[in-house]
């Protein structure tokens, strides 16, 4: 079988849809170790016990849709139009409402509207708003992107990022949660291996996960992509590490 060229791989990955949070296009082309705690399973258990729940930054709704049972009131927010449409198609048949949200405060819900708020990989965490929409005794349960996640890729394209490396520190996040009036019930962190087996997988990932290399475009980063392509062909893999934080915070009764 003829080895695919750089241009062929980049052209393919540069045009495929990146809507939603389904990463199945990367099957056989990249791998990512999963956190040991199993966020979707734990989230599903909590949703099954809730009366009213909110999923913040639901993406295409894929993670939320994996829950076995929704509470009587289930809402989700999303800001990117293609994801809003995808989440609506996926979640509306199950009785969940998807609300377009700008990503800026305030959340479009009343005070104390939910006894459970969940989120997987939110771009920003609005602690004061989370505390506001939680009912007394309610819980925020989330998996956050941790510090310096996939920074092997970030710094390959952008150079050293010492300030950015310090962002998303779990201890800082837990302090911010406490400052908003929440109590920390659980806090765990893991660093997990990722592997990219061709340059197309890198392009697709950077188009989809836009905060890894802000402003990424194939044309704007073609020279570095060529360098990385040569490296992957030489080593058969590019290795990076994702960083994940599990956090559970409760609003006092």
pTM beyond 0.75, yes or no = yes
Tell me the average pLDDT across 226-236: 98
What is residue 184's predicted lDDT score, i.e. its pLDDT?
98
Average model confidence (pLDDT) across the chain: 96
Q: In the predicted model, is pLDDT for residue 159 greater than 90?
A: yes
Which residues sit opposite 172 in a β-bridge? none
Q: In the predicted model, is pLDDT for residue 128 greater than 90?
A: yes
What are the extents of the domains in the chain? 6-250
CA-closest candidate to residue 129, choices 175, 165, 180, 172: 180
CATH 3.40.50.300 given to domain 6-250: no
* Pairing relationship of beta strands 134-145 and 238-250 according to DSSP bridges: antiparallel
What is residue 40's predicted lDDT score, i.e. its pLDDT?
96
Q: What percent of the chain has pLDDT over 70?
A: 100
In whole angstroms, give the CA distance from residue 21 to residue 8.
24
- Within 10 Å of residue 112's Cβ, how many Cβ atoms? 15
* Buried b / exposed e along 179-206 (16+ C-beta atoms within 10 A): ebebebeeeebbebebbbbbbbbbbbbb
pLDDT band for 103, please (50, 70, 90 cuts).
confident
pLDDT band for 2, please (50, 70, 90 cuts).
confident
Q: In the predicted model, is pLDDT for residue 83 greater than 80?
A: yes
Q: In the predicted model, is pLDDT for residue 1 greater than 70?
A: no
Rg, C-alpha atoms of the chain? 19
pLDDT band for 20, please (50, 70, 90 cuts).
confident
In whole angstroms, give the CA distance from residue 184 to residue 126.
16
């Amino acid at each position: 079988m003829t080895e695919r060229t750089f241009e062929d791989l980049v052209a393919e990955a540069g045009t495929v849809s990146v809507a939603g949070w389904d990463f199945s296009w990367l099957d056989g082309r990249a791998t990512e170790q999963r956190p040991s705690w199993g966020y979707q399973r734990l989230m599903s258990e909590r949703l099954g016990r809730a009366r009213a729940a909110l999923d913040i930054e639901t993406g295409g709704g894929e993670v939320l849709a994996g829950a076995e049972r929704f509470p009587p009131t289930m809402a989700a927010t999303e800001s990117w139009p293609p994801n809003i449409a995808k989440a609506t198609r996926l979640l509306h048949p199950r009785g969940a409402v998807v609300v377009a949200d700008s990503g800026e405060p305030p959340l479009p819900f009343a005070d104390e509207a939910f006894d459970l708020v969940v989120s997987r990989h939110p771009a920003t965490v609005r602690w004061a708003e989370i505390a506001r929409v939680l009912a007394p005794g309610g819980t925020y349960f989330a998996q956050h992107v941790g510090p310096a996640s996939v920074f092997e890729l970030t710094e390959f394209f952008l150079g050293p990022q010492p300030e950015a490396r310090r962002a998303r520190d779990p201890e800082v996040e837990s302090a911010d949660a406490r400052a908003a009036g929440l109590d920390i019930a659980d806090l765990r962190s893991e660093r997990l291996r990722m592997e990219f087996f061709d340059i197309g997988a890198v392009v697709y990932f950077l188009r989809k996960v836009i905060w890894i290399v802000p402003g990424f475009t194939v044309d704007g980063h073609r020279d570095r992509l060529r360098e990385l392509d040569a490296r992957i062909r030489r080593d058969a893999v590019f290795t990076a590490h994702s960083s994940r934080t599990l956090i559970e915070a409760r609003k006092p009764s």
